[in-house]
Amino acid sequence: MSTIAQQFGMTEALEILGVKAINEGTSTGNNHFSNGEIIESYSPVDGQLIGKVKTTTAEDYEKVMQTATAAFLKFRAMPAPQRGEIVRQFGNKLRELKEPLGKLVSYEMGKSLQEGYGEVQEMIDICDFAVGLSRQLNGQTIPSERPGHVMREQWHPIGVVGIISAFNFPVAVWSWNTALAWICGDVCVWKASEKAPLCSIACQNIIAGVLKANNLPEGISCIINGNYKVGEMMTTDFRIPLISATGSTRMGRIVGATVAQRFGKSLLELGGNNAIIITPTADLKVVVPGAVFGAVGTAGQRCTSTRRLIIHESVYDKVRDAIVGAYGQLTIGNPLDQKNHIGPLIDIDAVNTYLAAIEKAKAEGGKVLVEGGVLSGQGYESGCYVKPAIIEAENSFEIVQHETFAPILYLMKYRGEVENAIVLQNGVAQGLSSAIMTNEMKEAEKFLSFAGSDCGIANVNIGTSGAEIGGAFGGEKETGGGRESGSDSWKVYMRRQTNTVNYSDQLPLAQGIKFDL
């Protein structure tokens, strides 16, 4: 372990979580050991090797699926409130292990320690939500047009749920899916990002302990490891009726098409290109922290990160200067040190993408307000630390139309009424998160109306980044259309069934059809 890792207790955290420093024997996390290739997990914090896992082979995958499908037959028969009790115990374990798991999230992924703790808190929150929901998986009674008949709607477990998650939220997004899937009676197979595999092993160890203590099959929760080729094993597998995939739009196109070919279901959470509209009445005390955190939190590696500020020309100079001034106060460095606002990008490939985006914006005519670049020297040895950049741009720039997973913020003006800003905000292919900063009720309501934001998330006087688990999370257009977490998102993890019961002595047909024998 490096000096940084030792200083912030990473050795102890890994030991508590049951993650070996060099973990070559682990592949599926379900007592299966692989002959697959080795994945090395390096921390972007200091460039040091944290641990190793082996990829899942086709033989490993088949063992996992057999284990999962067998577990489903038992788990689906368990009453939903009892399944909720398992999720409650899991949530309590997360409370006990919030500190070490949060540290691992921060160290392996590179987000700030407070964001790492916050991600584990999201896991706890979704467990609480799911426990209550386990007593509310309600169907409905529907009036029948036929006398002596009643119609009902009920929901059944769907089966094995395949979860493909991204590196930027290495534990929370899995929990959004799995906590709901479990209370619905499903079992889960999880392929975490190969850029953060140790987080998935830690989570698997936690839930495996809960399942063992309750004498339940280990196949209720399974993990597999590897790159897109391992993901293809799931997307092409007819035994998995639902694939929940988080990642890029490019990845989503492949997953969605592949799963659709076999008539499976996809829950897609893909790219974002999120904007904040800033109107003349906006309060700068709200605008500045909302915009800055949205743009630089997690080093701009959130799907809800703020990419664009659309500012009314009458307040443009004032807002621009305030945002630029705030960037001057940001500190960049070791994310485990809570005095730092911004940690590293995930790897060198991400750094190169960031640099290329800045050069592309310049080539298209963008004016750099806050210069970007890669940091070097003591504390930045991993080569993954970059400076957040601000660039004046036009919405029509090709680079602005694409999501860059890095701390690059584009500023642009709008003129006239708020409708003109809404056109700019909607004028990208993605449709995840959006926000307006205004103290004018009419503007807020226009933004939220059917003619307003076309995103799945639309906020007033808060930023684009972050979401509470009580609301459904997801977006439209090239964001994929999926919904996770709160509200009635549970329904995607179940199959709907309509029942008609005839309790009369006759057999009347629907629509008054006569069929006399």
How buried is 21 (Cβ within 10 angstroms: 0-12 exposed, 13-18 middle, 19+ buried)? Answer: middle
- Report the alpha-carbon distance of residue 225 to residue 200 in Å, rounded: 9
- Active-site position among 115, 119, 269, 478: 269
Confidence (pLDDT) at 308: 98
Q: Which residue has the higher pLDDT, 205 or 510?
A: 205
Q: Would residue 127 show up in a list of annotated catalytic residues for this protein? A: no
Helices (H), 217-283: 228-235, 249-261
- Report the alpha-carbon distance of residue 228 to residue 244 in Å, rounded: 14
What is the model's pTM? Answer: 0.95
Contact 300, 405 (CB under 8 A): yes
- Active-site position among 303, 384, 403, 478: 303
Q: Which residue has the higher pLDDT, 367 or 33?
A: 367
**For residue 21, is pLDDT > 70?**
no
Q: Work out the mean pLDDT of the chain and round it to a whole number.
A: 95
Sheet strands (E) in 279-414: 306-312, 367-370, 389-392, 408-414
Task: With residue 495 as reference, give the H or E element that holds it.
Answer: strand 494-502
Length of the chain in terms of residues written: 517
pLDDT level of residue 5 (50, 70, 90 thresholds): confident
How buried is 2 (Cβ within 10 angstroms: 0-12 exposed, 13-18 middle, 19+ buried)? Answer: middle
- Report the alpha-carbon distance of residue 13 to residue 254 in Å, rounded: 37
Q: Would residue 153 show up in a list of annotated catalytic residues for this protein? A: no
Among residues 178, 156, 160, 158, the alpha carbon closest in space to that of 66 is found at 160
Please give the distance of CA 315 from its chain centroid, rounded to a whole number.
34
pLDDT level of residue 33 (50, 70, 90 thresholds): low
pLDDT level of residue 516 (50, 70, 90 thresholds): confident
Mean per-residue pLDDT, 333-340: 95
How buried is 503 (Cβ within 10 angstroms: 0-12 exposed, 13-18 middle, 19+ buried)? Answer: exposed
Mean per-residue pLDDT, 163-181: 98
Alpha carbons within 13 A on the beta-carbon side of 154: 7
**For residue 342, is pLDDT > 90?**
yes
Confidence (pLDDT) at 466: 81
- Report the alpha-carbon distance of residue 313 to residue 295 in Å, rounded: 21
Confidence (pLDDT) at 35: 78
Q: Which residues, in sequence order, are bridge partners of residue 436?
A: 277, 460
Please give the distance of CA 55 from its chain centroid, rounded to a whole number.
23
Instruction: Give, in degrees to the nearest 5, the angle at Cα 308 between 303 and 314.
Output: 150
Question: What are the b/e assignments for 353-362, b being 16+ CB within 10 Å?
Answer: ebbebbebbe
- Report the alpha-carbon distance of residue 230 to residue 350 in Å, rounded: 22
